[in-house]
Amino acid sequence: MHRRTTVVLLCAALTALPVRLALAEDGDGQVVLPGVPERLSSQQACTTAKGRDTSDAPWTRRALGLDQVWTLSRGEGVTVAIVGTGVSDVPAVLAGRVDAVDDADEDCVGRGTFQAGLVAGAATPGQGFAGVAPQARILAVRGTGVRGESDPARLTAGVRAAAERGAGVILVSAPLDGADKAVRAALAVAAAKDSLVVAPAAADSVPLSTAAEAPAEPAPAPPEDVLAVLDTGPQGTRPDGAPPYTRADLTAPGDALVGPGPVGGGMWTGSGASLAAAVAAGAAALVRSYHPELNAAQVRERLLRTAYPADLPALDPYGAVAGAEAPAARAVAVRPDPVRPVPPPDTAGARNTALLVTAGAVGVALFVAFLAAVLPRGRARGWRPGRLGTGGGGTD
């Protein structure tokens, strides 16, 4: 009897261990997926493991209703920029659909490739995985150091470069600070180019240096025009110990996700708000493909308005694609003239005609009655004139 392969997802702590330890297979035949790293230390080599094959569909496929929304939109014609560690087009799920700015076609870490797969990975034989918008294109833009080191200046420059290259959706790999002048300047370029910027509302993990000493500082408040996304797991809640945040607009699946690595066709696992942002960026690509008449601000509003209601709305890709038109689109409609009541018809002429017909009918009836009384008497006298008398009349 065929035994279904069970995907066992690794916790975030395993991402810091050597990849070969995450590729173990236990005695029950359960497949253990490697954890995609966030960044690499100076002692770690670039990620070269090929991941593992699994035919199981990730939990997100059913949770997001992707099979249903794919009947309407698959993201065709939309380019999503990944501003992060770079994106490799070696994985079969991304082959032929990745463009790059400068050296961003190389992904030493693997996280940018993982994010790109969540956005636009295609279904391949033998794999149960597919991204949210499997026909979208990817624009790789470097927004970190080569080893994933945080670099705010490079991140904002990446947003600007992605917008100038015409990306309809821009995914950034780290939270954005709405109070930062450089961030606001880059977002002004994105707005002018009609690019929707999607960013995580929190960091992907708590820095090890602060986790054991004091509570981590929350991520800064994101800019108002950015779609700030927070991560949730299969139960719809954030994992215990998840990094704090200041403000978020939307939640999306971001815990125990499955996606491609930078080498080969195998699958990896990962968690974090930047991965939830990738899922939301894929949904934005679905909307932009199906509703090309909407601008970036309207797409953002549509994703929020059609989300599942909660303390923080939860992403609903099908509702965003198939839902009602955005209020801004309805507002341009011309207001119709007020409806005026129809005046009652003039019935005076009809009333007069009816009276004449009635009078004529009465006259005819009286004339017929008269003839009925006179004709028999005239016939009895042979049509001779009668004689008037007091006795009621006589004959000669």
Q: Does residue 323 carry a pLDDT above 60?
A: yes
pLDDT surpasses 70 at 23: no
Assess if residue 374 is contained within a domain: no
User: Taking residues 260-269, what's their average pLDDT?
Assistant: 93
**pLDDT of amino acid 206:** 85
* Domain carrying residue 291: 7-329
Give the pLDDT of residue 69. Answer: 98
Q: What is the pTM of this model?
A: 0.76
The dihedral through the CA atoms of 321, 313, 59, 106 has a sign that is positive
Is the pLDDT reported for residue 357 higher than 60? no
**Span 123-149, average pLDDT:** 95
| Predicted pLDDT of residue 353 | 44
- Give phi and psi for 305, each to the nearest 5: -70, -30
pLDDT computed for residue 32 by the predictor? 86
The per-residue pLDDT for 338 is 32
Amino acid 362: pLDDT: 47
Average pLDDT over residues 108-133: 95
Q: Residue 243 phi/psi, 5° resolution?
A: -60, 145
Residue 207 near residue 216 (C-beta atoms within 8 A)? yes
Q: How far is residue 167 from each of residues 35, 193, 257, 375, measured CA to CA in Å?
A: 29, 9, 25, 107
Q: Flag the least confident range among 104-118, 191-205, 212-226, 227-241.
A: 212-226
Of the two residues 72 and 349, the one the predictor is more confident about is 72
Does position 168 have pLDDT exceeding 50, yes or no?
Answer: yes
pLDDT reading at 345 higher than 70: no
Query: What pLDDT does residue 238 have?
Result: 94
What mean pLDDT do residues 41-51 have?
92
Give a yes or no: residue 335 inside a domain: no
Show the tokens assigned to 30: 């359960």
Q: Is 8 helix (H, G, I), strand (E, B) or coil?
A: strand
Q: Of the candidates 194, 245, 239, which has an alpha carbon nearest to the alpha carbon of residue 218?
A: 245
pLDDT of residue 31: 72
Residue 224 CB coordination number (10 Å): 10
The pLDDT confidence band at residue 216, using thresholds 50, 70 and 90, is confident
Q: Which of 211, 210, 84 is nearest to 147 (CA)?
A: 84
Is the pLDDT reported for residue 246 higher than 90?
yes
Is residue 163 domain-resident? yes
Per-residue pLDDT, averaged over 326-345, amounts to 34
Task: Decide if pLDDT at 11 tops 80.
Answer: no
How many domains is the chain built from? 1
Give yes or no for residue 328 having a pLDDT over 80: no
We report the CATH number of the domain holding residue 103 as 3.40.50.200
Residue 30's SS3 state is: coil
> How far is residue 145 from each of residues 83, 104, 112, 278, measured CA to CA in Å?
11, 11, 12, 20
Q: Where are the beta strands (DSSP E) in the chain?
A: 7-8, 31-32, 79-84, 98-100, 137-142, 169-172, 196-200, 227-232, 250-253, 257-260, 267-270
Average model confidence (pLDDT) across the chain? 81
> What's the rounded Cα separation, in Å, for the pair 206 and 214?
11
Tokens, residue 199: 């960013």
Cβ–Cβ contacts within 10 Å for residue 181, how many?
9
Percentage of the chain modeled with pLDDT above 70:
72
Bigger pLDDT: 383 vs 96: 96
Domain assignment of residue 337, yes or no = no
Q: What is the mean pLDDT of residues 371-375?
A: 52
pLDDT at 207: 76
Average pLDDT over residues 202-220: 80
Q: Looking at residue 150, what is its pLDDT?
A: 95
| Helical residues (DSSP H) of 193-295, grouped into ranges | 208-211, 273-290
Say how far residue 6 (Cα) sits from the centre of its chain: 30
Examine residue 250 and state whether it is found in any structural domain, yes or no. yes
In the chain, what's the furthest Cα-to-Cα distance?
Answer: 157
Say how far apart CA 67 and CA 307 lie, in whole Å. 18
Record the tokens describing residue 368, joined without a space: 């017929």
384 in a structural domain: no
- Find which of 123-132, 153-162, 387-396 is predicted with most confidence, using mean pLDDT: 153-162
DSSP secondary structure letters along 100-131 = ESTTTT--SSSHHHHHHHHHHPPP-TT-----
- The total of other beta-carbon atoms located within 10 Å of residue 333's CB is 8
Residue 1 placed within a domain: no
Q: Poorest-confidence range of 84-98, 199-213, 249-263?
A: 199-213
What's the rounded mean pLDDT across residues 302-317? 96
- One-letter amino acid at 32 equals V
Q: Is residue 350 part of a domain?
A: no
Residue found under tokens 């815990």 = 255
